[in-house]
Amino acid sequence: MTMRMTLEPTARVRGARRVRAIFAVALARGLVRLSPRRLRAVLTTASRGAGPTDPDRALLARNAVVAVSKRCAAQQCLQRSVAAALLCRMSGRWPTWCTGIRVQPFRAHAWIEAGGQPVGEESDMSLYVKVMEVRSRAR
């Protein structure tokens, strides 16, 4: 059985924002190799001192990550969500980073939220049950 792979549409990202997005993608690629417990611990540490981000900034971060990485533009939701969260953190903000599962059919997914809403997700996220989340930990 083959799985159809589609890339999300991307916009151009230039200058310092592009460099930060590439750095976030590279960092995320290493982090997603950690165990779920360790990944959550690292992201919890990263979120400390950051205020919550707004939906527009979170979407800009997600779009920048997708623009600089074909892997993140395709089926790598874990790396995409971690990279987008890290890119938000580079500007002093933090989205809510989430992972979840659904049944019928079984799927696992990772995403970011801002203002209590999923950012840049096309599917019905109400079908997913959150398994992990890392919220903003402003002091």
Per-chain mean pLDDT for the chain: 89
User: Is the separation of the CB atoms in 111 and 125 below 8 Å?
Assistant: yes
What is the number of other CB atoms lying within 10 angstroms of the CB of residue 47? 22
Its pTM stands at 0.88
- Residue-level pLDDT at 74: 86
pLDDT digits (tens, 9 = 90+) for 69-101: 988 988 899 999 999 999 999 999 999 999 999
Beta bridge partners of 107: 102
What is the number of other CB atoms lying within 10 angstroms of the CB of residue 127? 13
Sequence ranges of the domains in the chain? 15-134
User: What is the rounded average pLDDT of the residues 100-127?
Assistant: 92
21-25, 37-41, 85-89, 122-126: which has the minimum mean pLDDT?
122-126
Strands 51-52 and 93-94, by their bridges, are parallel
